[in-house]
Amino acid sequence: AQSVSQHNHHVILSEAASLELGCNYSYGGTVNLFWYVQYPGQHLQLLLKYFSGDPLVKGIKGFEAEFIKSKFSFNLRKPSVQWSDTAEYFCAGNTGNQFYFGTGTSLTVIP
């Protein structure tokens, strides 16, 4: 079955620390991959997406993600987090019309 998994459920970092959130997917064929962010009290919004080409994808607010096909991974990274990055982060995969979401990672950044 197609699925997306996020292994970090809750991450706590100090400001300026580096961030890496894991995401793995299980698909046999072509897949589009996304990272969404949900700030407290706000709706989900897209951080970045990958569908083909350069496996290193840059998104908004200094985030990037790398698609590694051999590892079925699409990890999210940011070199230096800020307090305003406190949010919930969701990885998602898409084939056809269906999307599959991970269970989310709650990130807390301590000033």
Partner 1 sequence: DVKVTQSSRYLVKRTGEKVFLECVQDMDHENMFWYRQDPGLGLRLIYFSYDVKMKEKGDIPEGYSVSREKKERFSLILESASTNQTSMYLCASRPFGGVDEQFFGPGTRLTVL
The binding site for partner 1 (CB under 8 A) comprises 6, 9, 32, 34, 36, 42-46, 49, 51-52, 90, 92, 96-99, 101-104
**CA distance linking residue 2 with residue 94, whole number of Å:** 9
Choice between 34 and 63, CB closer to partner 1: 34
Choice between 75 and 104, CB closer to partner 1: 104
Q: How far is the CB of 44 from partner 1 (least distance, A)?
A: 4
Choice between 25 and 104, CB closer to partner 1: 104
Q: What's phi and psi for 73, nearest 5 deg? A: -125, 155
Q: What amino acid is encoded at 69 in this protein?
A: K
Using the 8-state DSSP alphabet, how is residue 73 labeled? Answer: E
Q: How far is the CB of 106 from partner 1 (least distance, A)?
A: 9
Q: How far is the CB of 13 from partner 1 (least distance, A)?
A: 20
The dihedral sign for the CA sequence 75, 6, 19, 89: positive
The SS3 assignment for 69 reads helix
